[in-house]
Structure 1
């Protein structure tokens, strides 16, 4: 038994190392020489203790496995800035971890600003090498190109120069970081496809189904804008695979079905549920967008819909309408239940889901407490200019701001101004308020609640008072427009 335990540990360690075997580990003494061997390389400068680095490393390794086999190949490199790579990191102005940079023939080319998931890294880096559209010189090239891609690809077939070819190449250059393009003018390829001036979108083999064609041929004008619209409309098909790196490309109204989506470990099971989604999606084509998403990758999003997902559960369904309101299918998943849910969504028969804390029984403190359920009452329709803080209970800056906010609210208690706070981790933030960090503060004038302004000023009481005195719809009683206290005469 002891031997088996040791063997298991060694085996696990070997597997863990094997996952990173395609990532080059370079140090000061070999960075310049080894990097110069590669036409294109992505370098991750990291520190072993960095949490973001630890999360990125497995995604980086997965991407390396794909990119090292790309034509042309892309090298993925890592440099430990705390040990053997200190000098290299200093030379490349690394000030935070992880820092990613693109190098060409050993020379710095540009900072990497792409996704941090494996699929996104692969797509972004493929776009950095070679032309925007890959030339296919044989039928074998076409078949190899189609077989290698894990997402839809767009291929142009052109016997000679044409307006369509010009539009195609323009679009390829514009979308090179999002979509894989290829083209051919070779007779055998054109003959196989049966066109001499056309563009075809091919869907990946693993998404083949009986509800939609495996390829779609463009029939619009020879115009890059029209071609772009066609690619956007057809790229993900009736029910695309929505993941972290592409989630923003799925537009509302959107119905998402969450389950164990995994085309590597369980393609049959993944398609079993997707086919049921497709059966419904086919009936609503052009009215609602559909997607499937891996539940383990979207746990946070499921929580935003109040859904606790267990691995053994049937798929769970959540939706957003055109106004970004949220809805949840409460029944057990079935084709019939999904179809009824989408019909009710389109007809406005569903009650929107609102993530909210209970409405406070009293407002005893100087700062008004907003929750999602009372937001309209205490912010939108309160008839006052409003300064609102969106905070997180664990946020250190928010905790530091709390006594200042209390003091400010106490100072302004007799003014036509409301000081409000809301826990944005426990309540939905809706409307025009864009919260991406904590604390986020907005100034919402009473007559312009639909156009609040993000507050970027100082965080001391006097800073807030001066700002509010200047911006208030009506001049404050106690301060002039410059934020100076007004003289108060005492009657004898």
Structure 2
């Protein structure tokens, strides 16, 4: 069991109601906790209630129902489970229904300060009463062409490829400047509907992401910074921001003409039996090598990793004449390839030589004999020095 610190708990009436899994910034925590108090969906009883609710700086998710319906039941269930992410309200008030023109619908209203000429000001759900479809609509279909991506709503921007434009975005202190750059992003985004997702973010809120793209030295620039997240890696725009440069960047991204950015240690000039993989040589050493591979993703400060290190050295020496690569990879100094999920240290993966696009998590024992037994059993062509059950082969006498 891996413990994470700090750990936050939510209490109701003196009893633990659950773990806190919301944002870790002040505004996000406040928004999350407000969503945990009171009813999950506010009933709007008058037109004034409706107008006050949609005047908020956050999006408003409103169920408009003439009477009881399966869609209303599903809407209220979704409000119960997603209350920490969105603001919900519902109404059957005839005056509100007449003004909006809806009578059995779920509608997301965009705050006035975020409205623009490229997007609709409201998004209407067109599906049935399936709660999963309603959640998917809220998360993926209400951002518009270039939504405002923050640490608190990052869950809405997981689709790929995603192009993020970072600048001094601040709709409180500088709404005009915020819209100036966002409108230029929107102008490009409209040409790539359903092909690429776009978002704008405050660069001070995403300093770590900017560092991950190697753009830290340009953070003080008055011009926006641009980076793309894809299933194949991370791609920064290495030119000054302009509409033409952004458009060309996206076209090149879709045409696979760009090289992904990798944080990497230098490629080792010498290798021992235990290979050292870094981001720049990972494909050559592991993915494109015609051998099976066992890779450890580690952190230099990790105590378990330090204990495992001599065992991997011994394992690599014992298997140095076999068609298998034993390698270590410092996941704190190098970008982890996107096909690997590393949540703790050490994390080990087995990669059969003919199926390396589907790495297998290694969850067996961590003694040398355990590794040998696993590798002998799972090696593509078997080992020369060990039987399939991991027992050392006796040399035949002449």
Fold agreement, TM-score > 0.5: yes
Shift of 1:412: 1.2
Alignment match, 2:219: 310
Measured at CA, do residues 414 and 218 of structure 1 come closer, stay the same or move farther in structure 2, by a change above 3 Å?
A: closer
Deviations 1:178-204 (A, max 9, x none): 222211112232233233333321012
Higher Cα Rg: structure 1 or 2? 1
The Cα shift of 1:295 comes to 1.8
**1:177 aligned onto 2:84:** yes
Residue 319 of structure 1 is matched in structure 2 by 228
Query: Which shows bigger deviation, 107-116 or 248-257?
Result: 107-116
**1:252 and 2:163 matched:** no
Within the alignment, does 1:100 sit opposite 2:8 as a pair? yes
Call closer, same or farther: CA 1:99–1:357 in 2, change over 3 Å.
closer
Q: Alpha carbons of 1:459 and 1:118: their partners in 2 closer, same or farther (altered >3 Å)?
A: same
- How many Å apart are 1:407 and its aligned residue? 1.9
Output the CA distance in 2 between the equivalents of 1:139 and 1:202: 15
Q: Structure 2 vs 1, CA of residues 434 and 224 (structure 1 numbering), >3 Å: closer, same or farther?
A: closer
Structure 2 unaligned residues grouped into runs of 5+: none
Superposed, 1:341-420 pairs within 5 Å as: 341-363=249-271, 365-420=272-327
In 1, Cα distance between equivalents of 2:227 and 2:66:
47
Q: Which residue of 1 aligns with 2:47?
A: 139
Provide the rounded CA distance (Å) in 2 between the counterparts of 1:108 and 1:173. Answer: 18
Aligned length: 394
Q: CA contact under 8 A between 2:373 and 2:389: conserved in structure 1?
A: yes
Structure 2 distance, partners of 1:391, 1:218, is 45
d(CA) in 2 for partners of 1:233, 1:113: 20
Q: How does 1:183-202 map to 2 (within 5 A)?
A: 183-202=90-109
Match of 2:352 in 1: 445
RMSD of equivalent CA atoms? 2.8
**1:293 aligns with one of 197, 201, 226:** 201
Change (3 A) 1:227 1:435: closer
Q: Matched residues in 1 for 2:369 and 2:67: separation?
A: 71
Distance 1:198 1:478, change over 3 A: closer
Q: Which residue of 2 aligns with 1:110?
A: 18
Distance 1:414 1:216, change over 3 A: closer
1:229 to partner: Cα distance? 4.3
Distance 2:96 2:357 in 1: 56
Return closer, same or farther for 1:264/1:452 CA change in 2, 3 Å cut-off.
Answer: same
Give the match for residue 476 of structure 1.
383
TM-score normalised according to structure 2 size: 0.87
Matches within 5 A, 1:448-467: 448-467=355-374
Would the alpha carbon gap of residues 449 and 344 (structure 1) be closer, same or farther in structure 2, given more than 3 Å must change?
closer
Q: Is the contact between residue 22 and residue 152 of structure 2 (CA under 8 Å) also seen in structure 1?
A: no
Which residue pairs with 1:435 in the alignment?
Answer: 342
Contact 2:64–2:97 under 8 Å retained in 1: yes
CA contact (8 A) 1:152 1:203 kept: yes
The answer to whether the 8 Å contact 2:228/2:236 transfers is: yes
1:277 to 181, 185, 196: 185
Tell me if structure 1 keeps the 8 A contact 2:232–2:338: no
In 2, Cα distance between equivalents of 1:447 and 1:348? 24
Structure 1: any 5+ residue segments left out of the alignment?
1-94
Matched, 1:121 2:29: yes
Distance 1:403 1:224, change over 3 A: closer
Aligned counterparts of 1:435 and 1:220: Cα–Cα separation in 2: 36
Q: Distance in 2 between matches of 1:271 and 1:240?
A: 12
Q: Distance in 2 between matches of 1:96 and 1:198?
A: 41
TM-score (norm 1): 0.72
* 1:217 corresponding residue in structure 2: 124
Question: Cα distance, 1:235 vs. partner?
Answer: 2.0
Q: Distance in 1 between matches of 2:265 and 2:366?
A: 27
Query: Could you say which residue in structure 2 is the equivalent of 1:82?
Result: none
1:485 paired residue number: 392
Structure with the larger RCO, 1 or 2 (CA within 8 Å, 6+ apart):
2
| Contact 1:152-1:236 at 8 Å conserved across structures | no
